[in-house]
Amino acid sequence: MSNICVIGTGYVGLVTGVCFADLGNSVHCLDINEHRIKNLKNGVMPIYEPGLEEIVERNVAATRLFFTTDYTEALADAEFAFIAVGTPSGVDGEADLTYVRDAAEKIAEVIDHAIVIVNKSTVPVGTGDWVSDIIRKKRGENELEYYVVSNPEFLREGSAIHDFMQPDRVVLGSMHRQAADAVAGLYQPLRAPTLITDLRTAEMIKYASNAFLATRISFINEIANVCDELGADVREVAQGMGLDKRIGHAFLEAGLGWGGSCFPKDVKALAHMAVLHGTHPQLLQAVMEINRNQRRRVVMKLRNLVGGSLIDKTVGILGLSFKPDTDDIRESPALEIIHLLRNEGARVKAYDPQAMENTAKIIPDLELCKNPYEVAQDADGLILATKWNEFKQLDFKRIYSIMHTPVLIDGRNEWDSQSLRELGFTYFGIGQGNHVSAGA
């Protein structure tokens, strides 16, 4: 059993804290957001993440999990302080390290015993050394025994608990082997392959992993667009490629491009780092450009299918979160498509099982519906933007009868094109050879 403090109770911090508590440790989860901590103390989750609430409940009841806004209380007995605060994009695409700096300064201010500081936030290469400097300077003569370890997180939203508890690998980077080994001990019950590197290498592994996954998606989206023009089906192309063990099947689903709180900001931050240090990240630039165009392409397609103009057309959007099983709408393809549609004069209606509250905060005048059928009512086009389960088997006869113009854009290649065309819909999927086979 170890005493752990986790700073930041977002997707990563909260999941890290509750999972370490569930493994038997005593964990203080700390946040500067008082509202969030008050809610957590009352059992109200700040995010939608399957399975999270139950684990929180169990560990609070077992007095292994505590929530606080007070750094002194949270760090009083801590052997490990995990920093899991946000690192959003700055004005030039760089990672904004304000929250990391604040957390490091606070640790330096209140701690009075030896501690391992573990950085879980995704941070530019060199940040571990920078955090170390911040603490040393802040302490001055009042020296502190501390060690900095980089421990990038690879969990995905929507399957965060599973990903944390059954990781493909644990990566630890430090200039102090004993500190890295001590953190490895916390993960030992998970029996995952563990890679220990220096600080900077661990920080780079995180960026390189996210950039590579984003590259795979942009690659398959580019292939999808070529498939459309040439009459091939990207789904089978991906299947055929994936059977090659060197390629594999994961992250080859063509669609509306990657969104979320991480791929967009991390690819941008890596490109920014590269430029700043005199290299020319052409591939990363192309990966981002393909991603932007993927959303525009769908809007262009819909415009063509409804007669060349979207002015006064009603468009329904199914799904607002950047992927299913989360209420996170950060950089969601759906939101960008809504923005593009409204810019062209369309009236947009939308529905999402979990993300409407968050969406209403940033697009207060968006027409939100109670279910997919309300979205389809009188619509000239319906776009499947997020692959939620409940959109998989809709009553399409009903939808056909209530739409004004029966045009379906299947942005996630989820629906059965043949049966929908038989019902009378004009159907457009991504990379399904639509230009040649559908006469669209």
**Residues tagged active-site:** 262
CB of 45 vs ligand UGA, minimal distance in Å:
17
**Contacts of ligand NAD in 240-279 (CB under 6 A):** 261-262
Euclidean distance between CA atoms 419 and 410, whole angstroms: 13
Decide: is 153 part of the binding site for ligand UGA (CB under 6 A).
Answer: yes
In terms of Cα–Cα distance, which of 270, 239, 234, 236 is closest to 122? 270
Is the Cβ of residue 51 or residue 242 nearer to ligand NAD in the bound state?
51
Whether the Cβ atoms of residue 411 and residue 335 lie closer than 8 Å to each other: no
Q: How far is the CB of 144 from ligand NAD (least distance, A)?
A: 18
Residue among 248 and 424 whose Cβ is closer to ligand UGA:
248
Beta pairing, strands 80-83 & 115-119: parallel
Stretch that binds ligand NAD, among 84-92, 107-115, 137-145, 219-227 (CB under 6 A): 84-92
Counting contacts by CB under 6 A, is residue 103 touching ligand NAD?
yes
- 323 in contact with ligand UGA (CB under 6 A): yes
- Residue 366 is a binding residue for ligand NAD (CB under 6 A): no
Alpha helices in 244-343 (DSSP H): 263-276, 282-305, 333-343
Does 325 help bind ligand NAD (rule: CB under 6 A)?
no
Under rule CB under 6 A, residue 84 binds ligand NAD: yes
Residue 352 interacts with ligand UGA (CB under 6 A)?
no
Asked if 257 contacts 333 with a C-beta cutoff of 8 angstroms, the reply is: yes
Query: Taking CB within 5 to 8 Å according to partner kind, which of ligand NAD, ligand UGA, none is near residue 85?
Result: ligand NAD
CA atoms within 13 A of residue 182's CA, in its CB half-sphere: 22
Q: If contact means CB under 5 to 8 A according to the sort of partner, which of ligand UGA, ligand NAD, none does residue 32 touch?
A: ligand NAD
When asked if residue 156 is in the footprint of ligand UGA (CB under 6 A), the reply is: yes
**153 near ligand NAD, judged by CB under 6 A:** yes
DSSP β-ladder status, 146-150 and 170-174: antiparallel
Torsion angle, alpha carbons of 40, 42, 46, 48, to 10? 120
Does residue 99 touch ligand UGA according to CB under 6 A?
Answer: no
Q: Which of 26, 59, 119, 121 binds ligand NAD (CB under 6 A)?
A: 121
Which of the residues 234 through 263 are near ligand UGA (CB under 6 A)? Answer: 251-253, 255, 258-260, 262-263
Give the strand order in the sheet containing 426-429. 367-368, 347-351, 314-318, 381-384, 407-410, 426-429
Residue 407 gets the label, from left (phi > 0), alpha (psi -120 to 50) or beta, of beta
Task: Provide, rounded to whole angstroms, the least separation between the CB of residue 183 and ligand NAD.
Answer: 16
Contacts of 63 (CB under 8 A, 6+ apart): none
CB atoms under 10 Å from CB of 269, counted, come to 26
Give the nearer residue to ligand NAD in terms of CB position, either 11 or 48: 11
Footprint on this chain of ligand UGA (rule: CB under 6 A): 122, 153-157, 210, 213, 217, 251-253, 255, 258-260, 262-263, 322-323
